[in-house]
Structure 1
Amino acid sequence: MRLGKVVKSNSHCDYVVQLDDTMEVEHPPQADDYGFGTFVKLEEPDVRHWAVGLVYNSQLFNPMFLSNGPRLSSDPDPLFAPDLINETRTLLGVVLIGCLKQEPDRTYGVHGIPRIVVPVNTKVFRMTPDEIYQFHLNSSDRPQFSYYSHLLQFGGSFAAQLTQQVLKELADSSLFGESDRRALEILCRELSWKTMMGAMR
């Protein structure tokens, strides 16, 4: 499912995505489609895959907020204001955590900071469960979670909560075997303990 497009970057692995609205697509994404911790892929279908990322932040942009201009006492009449459009926007903060490597017989994930710079206007899509599973397999088809420390460092002010949520959702899913799910649960409990102890200091 398409969510929107890249409009700017704050760093090499921190991008801002503008969500599509009814002016751009017939069926824009709903609130449940781009929540905190959603896996997304940045790519041009059938052209090039750029990167995989996680939604770590959101911003609502409303140019009318605190506007000192005159206001109408009633709803505008479209007959006299045909060009009046809604300029509110929803922006998502996306941290890049790797990319998908596609080979003729399989697809697997490469975790870490992508080397390439993602261009402006690159389309952004929500990843399917199958794509998320493929991203968490290495070239030997073994489960991996190598972006753990990267996410803690570059996941914004909610990095610990974001990492915990991703770990828990992966552990609760049916994507991995029993031993791998236990490893993810242990990692999640350890991070939770470290976060709690850090807050008590």
Structure 2
Amino acid sequence: MKIGKIVKSDSHINYVCQIFGPREADIQPGPADYAFGRFVRIAVRSERSDDPDALLDEALGQSREPITYAVGVIYDTILQNPAFGALGPRLSNETQVELFSPDYISEKAVLTYVMILGMMEERSVFGSEPEILSVMHGVPLLSLELDSEIETMTDEEVRTFHFFADPAGGPDSQSPYLHMGYVPHIIAQRSSLLPMVTLRIIDQLERLFPQNLALLSIVKRNFAWRLKVETTG
């Protein structure tokens, strides 16, 4: 589900997304769609083909070329209302403005902050599940573009983003494992909410990877202890 578009960046990995308002999308996103700790993805437009046939194939659910997505997590929300503090009289209330001035642009907005955690490359094939070609955790090489649309990720997509299958014991040995390679650069960021969003991520992974519950419990306790120590100084 598409929930908004990028309107600003604070750094190479921190972006501000404006959530779609009324009549800006076919389905207006609700608060649960941009909740704290929600995983989202953004297509890297500079790598997408401008071929009209390729764009048509993508709209139909089939793609000749792989699509690269930046994967991120929502870690903060800002409610913007420029009219706050302007307590003077009004000639029209909000209902009358919508009726008599349908072209009026509301300056109220919901802004979410997204931290990019890695990249995912996939190819969509009509009639079957998308084929995941590669997954990378950490700081991406490419930056995102303004007005790029942000969409929520399903549980299966989140699971795929965290489930690696690297050759561990040789070319014939495949040992899938849970991976959180983005944790070091989350810790390096200066935001009081990031330790909390890390705990929220672990909560989600505990639900998606019950077989790794013991490992995730250890990581969760370490982060909870770190948060407590930093809070008390």
Q: TM-score range by the shorter chain?
A: 0.7 to 0.9
For residue 216 of structure 2, the aligned residue among 168, 184, 192 is 184
1:93 aligns with 2:113: yes
Query: Hey, what's the Cα distance between the residues in 2 that align with 1:77 and 1:182?
Result: 56
Structure 2 match to 1:52? 71
- In structure 2, stretches of 5+ residues that fail to align are 46-57, 124-129, 167-175
| Paired letter, 2:201 | V
**Aligned CA distance change for structure 1 residues 113 and 23 (closer, same or farther; 3 Å):** same
Change (3 A) 1:76 1:186: same
Q: Secondary structure at the match of 1:22?
A: coil
CA distance in 2 between counterparts of 1:134 and 1:165 reads 18
Cα offset, 1:38, TM superposition: 0.3
User: Residues 73, 17 of structure 1: CA spacing in aligned structure 2 closer, same or farther, 3 A cutoff?
Assistant: closer
In 2, distance between residues paired with 1:23 and 1:40?
Answer: 22
Cα deviation for residue 139 of structure 1 reads 4.5
- Equivalenced residue count is 198
Q: Does 1:84 align with 2:117?
A: no
Query: Would you say the 8 A contact 1:53–1:95 is kept in 2?
Result: yes
Q: Is 1:110 matched up with 2:129?
A: no
CA distance in 2, matches of 1:155, 1:128: 28
Cα distance in 1 for partners of 2:190, 2:156 equals 24
Is structure 2 residue 90 aligned with structure 1 residue 64?
no
1:155/1:27 CA distance change after superposition, 3 Å: farther
Per-residue Cα deviation, 1:111-165 (whole angstroms, up to 9, x for no partner): 0011101111111100000100110022423220111121222373211111111
Provide closer, same or farther for how the CA distance between residues 25 and 181 of structure 1 changes in structure 2, counting only shifts above 3 A.
same
Match of 1:145 among 180, 204, 227: 180
Do residues 134 (structure 1) and 154 (structure 2) align? no
2:42 aligns with: 42
- Residue identity in the other structure for 2:121: K
Q: Which range moved further: 57-66 or 71-80?
A: 71-80
Paired with 1:64 and 1:194, the residues of 2 have a C-alpha distance of 40
Task: Compute the TM-score of the two structures, normalised by the length of structure 1.
Answer: 0.87
What is the RMSD computed on CA atoms of the aligned residues?
2.4
1:91 deviates by: 0.7
Residue type at the aligned position of 1:40: V
Distance 1:181 1:121, change over 3 A: same
Tell me if the contact between 1:39 and 1:132 (Cα under 8 Å) persists in the aligned partners: yes
Q: Which ranges of structure 1 fall in alignment gaps of 5 or more residues?
A: none
C-alpha distance in 1, partners of 2:77/2:188?
18
Mapped contact 2:202–2:220 kept (Cα < 8 A): yes
Kindly report which structure 2 residues correspond to 1:153-192, keeping only aligned pairs within 5 A, or say none.
153-154=188-189, 156-171=191-206, 173=207, 175-178=208-211, 180-192=212-224
- Higher mean displacement: 36-45 or 114-123: 36-45
Give yes or no for contact 1:20–1:29 (8 Å, CA) kept in 2: yes
